[in-house]
Amino acid sequence: MSPLKNVPVKKIGVIERYQEFLSVSNETPIISLNEGNTPLILSEALPKELRLSNIRIYFKFEGLNPTGSFKDRGMTMAVSKALEEGATSVMCASTGNTSASAAAFASRCGMKCYVLIPEGKIAKGKLLQAFRYGAKVIIVKGNFDVALELVKKITSTHPIKIVNSVNPYRIEGQMTAAFEICDDLGDAPDHHVIPVGNAGNITAYWRGYKKYKEAGRSERLPRMLGFQAAGAAPIVLNRVVEQPETIATAIRIGNPASWKGALEARDESGGLIDSVTDSEITWAYRFLAEREGIFAEPASAAAVAGFVKWARKGYFEEGSSVVCTLTGSGLKDPEFALSFEDSMEAVEPRIDAVLRAVQA
């Protein structure tokens, strides 16, 4: 047996890759799980389905991050900076993915992690991640907005770092997704389509695109198209939604923390923020998995549903390029995934029985 040579492992986390654009120094301890560097997948089926032969649609599949969502990009920054500043614990409110990510990065550097989760309506996969990464999970009788208010108050009077997207390092880290897209395509796309919940991500992408252009690393800026679920569409309605409702639990938010950032992204880019219904989201969710081979969570499908809605209105000009962020993995929400009419009945172990099932 020959011993392994001591080859240095290539570091590919987003902080190492884009350090010059981030608030880190050589003294910042980098807590990374090699997040980022997610694939940009060219859509095969959607242009055919919509008869848009001359439009290129790419999926930025963030479900392939270490904890299964884009939240890892911001969390590597937030936890690294918290550690640099001497924190020993972090806290967040979460519809699920933020807590999964915070718990993972905290576990990696021996910090305590407290997560406040709204009772009910949280995808099982996300909840079990928070538990297994060793976070202290506190379930709150109230929705996400209520939980976030509690976290803000507690962390302002106790020595615990808040790692919700009101922590500016979260948004900073999330800009790296826009950088990667420009690096992969050679420039920014014409349009960027994205789901909107707390609105941190649309804010981050827009800042990222602007920063990259200012630095001369890209030449264009995309139009930002954000989509909320119809039952949780405060930005579209221009008012707080007290009881947000949607199957897309990751965007079930009635009072987005980065509301202003979302309006800025929309207005500066000449884009739009609109809503899509749960049945449009469900259609897109199934289309992605059944026709593109991409299993993304319902909130991610909201972006695709929004693209479809506006494509049918003829919004996208011939020859244009569109990037659609698929924010999280479909495995996060097994209960929604199994809410369709799949047959799970066992058949007799005989060829005729199996063939009958094949033809059913």
> Which of 143, 158, 179 lies closest to 251 in space, CA to CA?
143
The CB-of-347 to ligand PLP minimum distance in angstroms stands at 36
Euclidean distance between CA atoms 34 and 72, whole angstroms: 9
Nearest distance, CB of residue 290 and ligand PLP, angstroms? 20
Specify the residue, 76 or 300, whose C-beta has the smaller distance to ligand PLP: 300
Which helix (H) or strand (E) is 14 found in, with range? Answer: helix 14-18
Residue 344 beta carbon to ligand PLP: minimum distance, rounded to whole angstroms: 27
Q: In what order do the strands lie in the sheet with 40-42?
A: 40-42, 56-61, 321-326, 191-195, 223-229, 272-276
Q: Is 155 helix (H, G, I), strand (E, B) or coil?
A: helix
28/285 Cα distance (integer angstroms): 39
Nearest to ligand PLP of 198, 321 (CB atom): 198
Selection from 129, 51, 53 nearest residue 95 by Cα: 129
CB-nearer residue toward ligand PLP: 55 or 249: 249
Torsion angle in degrees (nearest 10) through CA of 23, 29, 30, 32: -140
Closer to ligand PLP at the Cβ: 97 or 218?
Answer: 97
Closest distance between ligand PLP and the C-beta of residue 196, in Å? 5
Which residue sits closest to ligand PLP, CB atoms considered?
Answer: 328
The nearest distance, CB 227 to ligand PLP, in angstroms, is 10
- Spatial distance between the Cα atoms of 67 and 107, rounded to a whole number of angstroms: 12
Of 264, 64, 269, 252, nearest to 144 by C-alpha is 252
Q: How far is the CB of 22 from ligand PLP (least distance, A)?
A: 18
Cβ-based nearer residue to ligand PLP, 275 or 300: 300
Residue 289 DSSP class: I
Question: Minimum distance from CB of 121 to ligand PLP (Å)?
Answer: 14
Residues that bind ligand PLP (CB under 6 A): 69, 71, 97, 165, 195-201, 250-251, 297, 299-300, 327-328
Whether residue 284 contacts residue 302, with contact meaning beta carbons closer than 8 Å, is answered with yes
